[in-house]
Structure 1
Amino acid sequence: SDTSVFCPYIEHDDRVGGGGGNRGFPGRRRKGRGPFRGKMYSEMNHHPRNWSGAGPSPRSRLEEEDGDVLMSDPHDVLRSRYTPYGRPNRDRERGGLSNISLTVRQNLSTLERLGPRSNAPKKSWFKVSIPYGRKYEKAWLINVIQNLCSVPFTPVELHYANNRVVFYVEDASAANALKQVSRKIVAPDGYKIVILLNPCSSPTSVQRELKPEEIEQLKLCMSKRYDGSQQALDLKNLHTDPDLVAQNIDMVLSRRSCMLAVLRIIQENIPELLSLNLSDNKLYRLDDMAELPQKAPNLKILNLSSNQLKTDRDLDRLKDLKLEELWLDGNLLCDSFPPTTLPPTKGSYFGSEDLKALILRFLQQYYTVYDSGDRQGLLDAYHDGACCSLSIPFSLHNHSRSTLAEYFKNSRNVKKLKDPTMRFRLLKHTKLNVVAFLSELPKTQHDINSFIVDVCAQTNTLLSFTVNGVFKEVDGKCRDSVRAFTRVFIVVPAGNNGLCIVNDQLFIRKATNKEIRKAFVMPAPTPSSSPVPTLTAEQQEMLQNFSLQSGMNLEWSQKCLLDNDWNYAHAAQVFTQLKVSALVPF
């Protein structure tokens, strides 16, 4: 005969090394056991026969979408389709369709079947089935397939269906790549993993539309998560929100209907949105966010941390946004970018030795009073018309839980604060208001040795410089917490070769682990034991100068001067001798 009979699928035929049936009778050749093994029965999508009078024609039945078509082997071209319950094929006798033309039609690739003659959309969904997948752990199975598949994919609605593992993929290129992986994975029990694919409509979870009452509940939930003062919307981990869970609303933002509902609410209620947090929402694609630039045109900050984005191509949907900050940590796409190493920071820059001595003396005097516990003594350091402001980094999280909560109410972060009234109110004018404001801040102890000073501008009548360093709070609920700060001073000349502050900008943030490890390594006098307040004005100035020129801290500088009866020249001579002998403590 010129045709072969299809062999039913026997699972053991896929064991590595062969070992199918007919082992007991090698000389006997059973029907259908030709040189080409038939296709597995489980690989076929059998359709129930239509017993009505006007059933489908043979061609229409053969052109139906079938899992076997995608997974057929090259040597199957000459074999007819197995139809165990169908009518005998007499087309050959009647001069009908030939086996070859029918088989060629069957073996068209997935993309060819969705070619110009198809009305399928450009982005089509595919149902992926793995026979006998229930025998294996789903996590292991998906992981091993993803590792071997040449195109990254994310399984949607991964679940068991009878003895199969079933999921959906949206990308046609991923579907074809999965097709190539079939039978190339050997399970721990020795069997090859078979992968079947069928074009399908989008999964139910993607199609489902929200009901009006669910949208109203979502709107209420979003209103609770919106911070009007910062124009920030925090939708982190939205699917676990207690209010939505209590109403049995499954708000999964990776579903098109859910994301579009969120964007619609933003457009209708908060189009002025500046910051949006979508972290921890299991987003594996951003196709449904394509309308975000139109819905929130003023958006500046977008947090997509801890999602499932795999490639930077996912970010194409956001290219029309005028973002200033984009958070992507915790996504697989971050692994595709090499780590960057910042150059080491340099030390202080003063411009000249005279300027260095002037600034360091000023800072020593200023922070001695600032850390003393009574900051009223700072009145002499500020100009009558001075102004001062404080700011902290903008946070997407609850400010009440932040470690910088004590500073939040006074923060004048003009990058985030757009209300002109609040901007003016948080700017402290006149030295009385400035010192009163500074006195309300937590009591501190600064690490003078951590200071890095950079001179920004200098004229005969004005000097601007920046100070970076660390301090710790010495009282309150954040006692001993180490903070980092940056302070910009604009000063003018004052009497007795001093400086007078006309503008003071203080920025406070959390210290890094490295800054915390290096902070307060050298002992420093506490405000209560500081010797400066007990000295005369002349002795205090002498102590400051000696400490700056010798490099010793205040405690040892005072000890050196006391031992030499406050004879500055003699103390300097003794210091030089001890330094040469390497006996000077710092």
Structure 2
Amino acid sequence: MSHFFSQSSRSRGRGRGRGRGYYGGGQNPMLSHLGAEADQYSGPAGAGAMAAGNAAFADTSMVGYAGGPVQVSIKGWGGGTEPSLIKFLDNKTGRSINIKSVNYRGDIMYISVPSMEIAQELLKLSGIRFAGDKLIFQLKIPQVRFGADSSGREMPGRSAASESVNIKDRLINLLQTRVDMQGGSLDLSSLAQDNIIKSIGANPLHDGKIFKAILVIAAQIYPSLVTISFADNGFRTLRPIADLGMHFPGLRNLSLMNNLIADLRELDCLSSAGSTVPLGQLAELILSGNPVCETELRQPNGGASYVDKVHQRFPTVNMLDMNPVQPRAQPGLATQSAGERAVTRQFPFSTEQSFVENQGIGDMANAFLAGFFGLYDQNRSGLADIYDHSAQFSLIVDTAPPTNAFAQTKAQSQKHVDLSVYIRISRNLARVKSPAKRMSALVVGRDAIIQTILQLPATQHPVQDAQRFSFDAWQVEVPSASGGPQTVAALVIHGEFTECQSQNVISFDRVFALAPAPPGSPAAAIGSPCVIVNDMLTLRRYNGFHSWLAMPTDTPAATSGLAPEQQEMARALQEQTGLNAEWTLKCLENYGWNCQLALSEFPQVRGTLPPEAFK
């Protein structure tokens, strides 16, 4: 997960607001107070605003004003908070502007000040910088109404309802600034620092009701969320989110990182131990940064004990604190017995970084890739020579946050990396449902492809570091443009590149279909052994390269000389029994390399095996 994007700047709350008293006058923050003042200037439009003989030169900002409080809208205040803005305005005007009420609609704040004189002083400040942005003031005559009837009076008995609507609107705005529906993710981290929460006057650290309200609204608007982060919220107890399973029964990824949870029993309210609707499909859980993690890991055999305690509550978890663990159970599968330790497995034989069908295909692929990335990084126009005239190109953006531990701890993979320039032309068929848009996002023809890739950010691929790339290559027959069969080389490469301007590091997969370069063709002239028939590029946030590096064996000497079918038997038996490499081979040898017999007999002999057989 570590599926959780870092917190970015947030926009303000919106919706119909409630009156709120500020600075002086001894006024109580009562909605009825706003309604009473509204009476003083709700007379006929234009009364007393200008003399008829001077209409051509009248101050049009006064049209419709009959004295009394005045409403002013403020744009550009979002970088600060309400109190800091009011203090700022007091300082700039040299007086207390004595705001009578504050309301919101979208990112605009609406304030009521006692007189036109103060309003005019504020208008003179339009363009002044506050919290990194320019403030824009506008006079609102007639005023914008919030929770009032047509006369401007607050409707009797509606104060509580208006306040409730106002808070709901702001919470909806909060969710809109924190949701990533492409990744099915909701970031509810560090809520106490969020300006929308501050504008409500709520303190999430001491009032769990705000989390309950947020979950209710989120479930109504975004019922398909699979990833939620509650990081950095000061949780000592999880009772404020105890209804999580009821609202999101299909939740797969949950972050509770950097809270104050000191006892794993706090998780019970989310599991079958204490909830009637537990998180039965949870695949990833992050608890790192909580006191309970340090406590558990200090225990003898702390890592295994810690994993076991989590699995007692969430048996389907396969990623804990951004490290892979063996789940006790998966949806639809039988639960493993308690004796199986949830630890990272190693295969009893080595794995290879790449698959290449034969030496000739491998040499061709290496020559092609060296030339292709050299041109892609330095001279993309030159790639026109190696794309077939009817080639196809598509770009897909995978917006799901990276899931491995390496990616979650490295600065290059920070989740705020902006992928919008790529998303604009993305042809992710899981997201793009319209047939017309699917077709328009497919780039066909050499010239169109070059024009498309010239629009993408300049890059640098670390081709000098071979371990950062992995490729598979083999021959396959595909239909040609004429309809007959055509033999091409399928080349699948996994790697990374750095954007030259932003210095963002991005992981990619690229699938090429390559045909031999015809003699005398532009591709042959520049030394390319092939031309590109099809090019499909997939981008994602950086997740490192360690996943395809060769894995060491548990016992290299014991597994040397295994036939491919024996290696496959060993792999299957180890995955299903939890045995280490040495005991996997002993078991297979004992049953004459009959994998099915070994599996059927294993439950009866499990209790006779020593603990080290499962390490």
Fold agreement, TM-score > 0.5: no
If the TM-score is normalised by the length of the shorter chain, which range does it land in? 0.3 to 0.5
TM-score (norm 1): 0.43
Higher relative contact order (CA 8 A, sep 6+): 2
Q: Which of 1 and 2 has greater Rg?
A: 1
